[in-house]
């Protein structure tokens, strides 16, 4: 009898071990693959689980990610909106499959202030874990309106500070833009040359995001944003984020997933940076006087010696360009008023494309997502084209010749000094005196 009981117990334990092993192997098989799953799972009681709940391991083993999109939805952004709409499920699945993170999504749309645009200034959708909900928000997004060249960038960033960010999550905001904020270049601002009529200052808001631990990634739609690249680099730098150049919409999914994976991989090094900053502060240094470069070098040498690795978003298999010297100077300024005193517009490269003879020039803008062709422009499109095309013949435009061959991907490699510099910048931006 005793032997029979022992045999039954051993058999039961063997079954449990086999089932656990099968489940573990099944979960591991999802890692690194582009899996396709339905948006929801129906429970027996009729409740629904999000796609995140279906495949994430326990929260004790994996972190949380709050990912907010800030999207320009004026007339020139149609192809990028469609790319986000078509690929949002793939974006989330790729992040979850590669990192096991518990992901929530938010969307902030922005256009312009009246009278330049009479639809809306911003439209905020707070965090959800449902891919279907996020896709429904994107389905309602339409590229239209816009007015003069600058847009309500500052107001959109302000809305990002009002999202319900989780305290213990990795927080990333991805801003997709092709135009500057009001007040950066008064000479080309026909409506609000002093900045947002609501008083929102993008330089201060970038620091507010950093205070909340939010990393800002700016996906700059090139070439339109090239003249303002240093400014957007500065915004990203303040929060420890990156500027990602993008010239074709198909690369949007790679930019977002790669940036998210990199930030998730860097989170484990924050404690090292915070410890060094704490020691520097204890030694009598204030936020403004702390030697950021020395802290970054100390942490980098320590991590490099230990063989620390991280994921890195790369362009054409090369690390992204860090912020320019001018961008770092701009990042040190506390307000847009200070920035515009020293801001210098960059130059936009040019390449050829063809006009469609059946279209009216005043109502069209070049479609930067293709080799040629147009889509309908925002209100006031003729004014927006005038400064960009005044030096070109009708057969020429400003489209990068390398756009078709560009590639964005993610690789794992040794931690870089630039990554540590970004972490130091973000952590010191959270100090009151910075």
CA–CA dist 162, 184 (Å, integer): 24
Nearest to 32 by CA among 99, 88, 103: 99
State the residue for tokens 């489209």: 399
* pLDDT confidence tier of residue 247, bands split at 50, 70 and 90: confident
Q: Can you give the pLDDT at residue 76?
A: 80
Q: Which of 36-45, 137-146, 381-390, 414-423 has the lowest mean pLDDT?
A: 381-390
Q: 69-118 pLDDT, tens per residue? A: 999 998 888 888 888 888 888 899 888 887 778 999 999 999 998 888 78
CA–CA dist 117, 379 (Å, integer): 7
Q: Is the pLDDT of residue 290 over 90?
A: no
Q: Can you give the pLDDT at residue 399?
A: 40
Kindly report the average pLDDT of the chain as a whole number: 77
State the residue for tokens 């100090």: 431
Q: 305-337 pLDDT, tens per residue? A: 999 999 999 998 998 989 999 999 999 999 999
Region 406-423 average pLDDT: 93
Task: Give the residue, 122 or 49, on which the prediction is more confident.
Answer: 122
Q: Which of 96-100, 145-149, 211-215 has the lowest mean pLDDT?
A: 145-149
Q: Can you give the pLDDT at residue 402?
A: 44
State the residue for tokens 């990610």: 65
63-268+324-344 is classed in which CATH architecture?
Answer: 3-Layer(aba) Sandwich (3.40)
Q: Can you give the pLDDT at residue 250?
A: 87
CA–CA dist 238, 236 (Å, integer): 6
* pLDDT confidence tier of residue 68, bands split at 50, 70 and 90: very high
Share of the chain above pLDDT 70, in %: 70
Is the separation of the CB atoms in 220 and 243 below 8 Å? yes
The residues near 397 (Cβ < 8 Å, ≥ 6 apart) are 350, 351, 352, 353, 366, 389
Q: Is 374 exposed, middle or buried (0-12, 13-18, 19+ CB in 10 A)?
A: middle
CA–CA dist 111, 397 (Å, integer): 24
Using CA atoms, how far residue 422 sits from 136, 230, 392, in Å, is: 34, 16, 39
Nearest to 188 by CA among 392, 399, 397, 384: 384
Q: Is the pLDDT of residue 31 over 60?
A: no
Nearest to 171 by CA among 163, 180, 159: 163
């Amino acid at each position: 009898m005793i032997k029979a009981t022992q045999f039954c117990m051993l058999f039961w334990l063997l079954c449990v071990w086999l089932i656990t092993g099968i489940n573990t192997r099944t979960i591991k098989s999802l890692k690194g693959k582009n899996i396709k799953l339905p948006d929801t799972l129906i429970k027996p009681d009729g409740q629904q689980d999000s796609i995140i709940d279906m495949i994430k391991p326990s929260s004790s083993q994996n972190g949380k990610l709050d990912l907010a999109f800030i999207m320009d939805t004026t007339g020139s952004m149609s192809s990028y909106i469609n790319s986000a709409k078509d690929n949002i499920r793939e974006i989330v699945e790729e992040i979850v499959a590669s990192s096991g993170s518990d992901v929530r999504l938010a969307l902030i749309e922005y256009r312009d202030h009246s009278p330049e645009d009479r639809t809306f200034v911003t439209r905020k959708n707070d965090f959800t874990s449902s891919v279907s909900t996020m896709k429904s928000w994107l389905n309602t997004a339409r590229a239209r309106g816009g007015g003069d060249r600058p847009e309500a960038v500052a107001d959109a960033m302000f809305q990002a500070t009002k999202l319900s960010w989780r305290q213990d999550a990795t927080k990333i905001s991805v801003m997709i833009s092709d135009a500057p904020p009001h007040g950066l270049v008064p000479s080309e601002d026909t409506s609000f040359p002093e900045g947002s009529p609501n008083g929102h200052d993008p330089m201060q808001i970038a620091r507010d995001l950093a205070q909340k631990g939010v990393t800002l990634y700016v996906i700059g739609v090139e070439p339109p944003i090239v003249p303002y690249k240093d400014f957007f680099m500065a915004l990203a730098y303040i929060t420890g984020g990156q500027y990602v150049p993008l010239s074709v919409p198909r690369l949007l999914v790679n930019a977002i997933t790669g940036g998210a994976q990199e930030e998730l991989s860097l989170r484990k090094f924050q404690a090292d940076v915070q410890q060094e900053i704490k020691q520097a502060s204890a030694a009598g240094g204030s936020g403004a006087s702390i030697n950021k470069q020395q802290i970054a070098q100390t942490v980098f040498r320590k991590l490099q010696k230990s063989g620390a690795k991280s994921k890195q978003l790369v362009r054409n298999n090369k690390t992204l360009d860090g912020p320019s010297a001018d961008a770092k100077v701009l990042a040190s300024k506390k307000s847009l008023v200070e920035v515009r005193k020293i801001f210098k517009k960059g130059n936009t490269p040019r390449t050829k494309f063809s006009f469609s003879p059946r279209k009216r020039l005043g109502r069209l803008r070049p479609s930067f997502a293709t080799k040629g062709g147009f889509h309908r422009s925002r209100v006031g499109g003729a004014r927006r084209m005038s400064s960009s095309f005044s030096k070109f013949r009708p057969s020429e435009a400003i489209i990068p010749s390398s756009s078709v061959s560009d590639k964005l991907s993610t690789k794992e490699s040794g931690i870089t000094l630039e990554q540590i510099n970004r972490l130091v910048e973000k952590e010191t931006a959270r100090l009151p005196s910075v």
